[in-house]
Amino acid sequence: MRIFCTNSSSPLIQATEQWLNKIHSVKTVKNFFSSENESKTLMQGTDVFIHSLSEDPDMEDQTKLDEAIRQTYALLSTCVEMGVKRFIFLGTLDTFKAYDPDYIIDEMWKPKPTAEINVLTSHMSEFICKEFGREHKIDVRVLRLGEVCWEESSNSDSPLFIVDALQAIQRTVETDLISPDYIRYVPNTWNVFHIQSVVPNMRFKIIKAEDELGFSPQRLDL
């Protein structure tokens, strides 16, 4: 598959590029395209588009929010126009931070984001993804990622060890999802998955990702 990723300065995207390039063709771009024509040229022939947001600490909050909304909408629109098969947005489980930490949360729960800017930009971008997916314009998948960890230890209740993050992204890229029998005639173009590693007292259920994507995270007894 031909895969295009935004936010190439992100360590996660750099690891994703290296991982997926073993069996796919991956291109990345650091920043948003400077023009619509440039985006169309670079995205020509793309099968899967992976989008994540910059967390530049030097950018003002309002600018960061405006750019996240504008970029996500523009990218989805261009993907639809260019016939990209699949759009994957790398979101965050932090959109549930406002809930009591004792709750065990799955994809049926409604996000309850805080006012923290990186959480808010992710939530708003996910909302745009949902609108495109529900209109059946493109196969849209959101991975709400736990706290990405580069070491095999964490005190978090929702850690995501890098090996599991890469596996989840690869499975999302490669797996074709089928609509349930009762809506078989409707394209399955909107899906959200919670992604975290398996640890004691884990906060988020990952059964959907395991069942539908074949996600099989490592299990650590911490």
Q: What is the pTM of this model?
A: 0.93
Does a structural domain hold residue 16? yes
Q: What is the pLDDT of residue 155?
A: 78
Does a structural domain hold residue 66? yes
Q: pLDDT tens digits, the chain, 222 residues: what are they?
A: 999 999 999 999 999 999 999 999 999 988 666 666 777 888 899 999 999 998 888 889 999 999 999 999 999 999 999 999 999 999 999 999 999 999 999 999 999 999 999 999 999 999 999 999 999 889 999 999 999 999 876 778 899 999 999 999 999 999 998 765 544 555 689 999 999 999 888 999 999 999 999 999 986 654
Does a structural domain hold residue 21? yes
Range of the domain at 143: 2-213
Does a structural domain hold residue 105? yes
Alpha helices in 53-191 (DSSP H): 61-82, 117-134, 162-174
Q: What is the pLDDT of residue 182?
A: 43
Does a structural domain hold residue 222? no
Q: What is the pLDDT of residue 37?
A: 74
Q: What is the pLDDT of residue 222?
A: 44
Does a structural domain hold residue 43? yes
Q: Which residue, chain included where needed, has tokens 């920043």?
A: 31
Q: What is the pLDDT of residue 38?
A: 74
Does a structural domain hold residue 97? yes
For the chain, the domain total comes to: 1
88, β-bridge pairs = 50, 141
- How many angstroms separate the CA atoms of 143 and 123, rounded? 12
What CATH code is carried by the domain that includes residue 48? 3.40.50.720
Does a structural domain hold residue 134? yes
Enter the tokens of residue 205. 């259920």
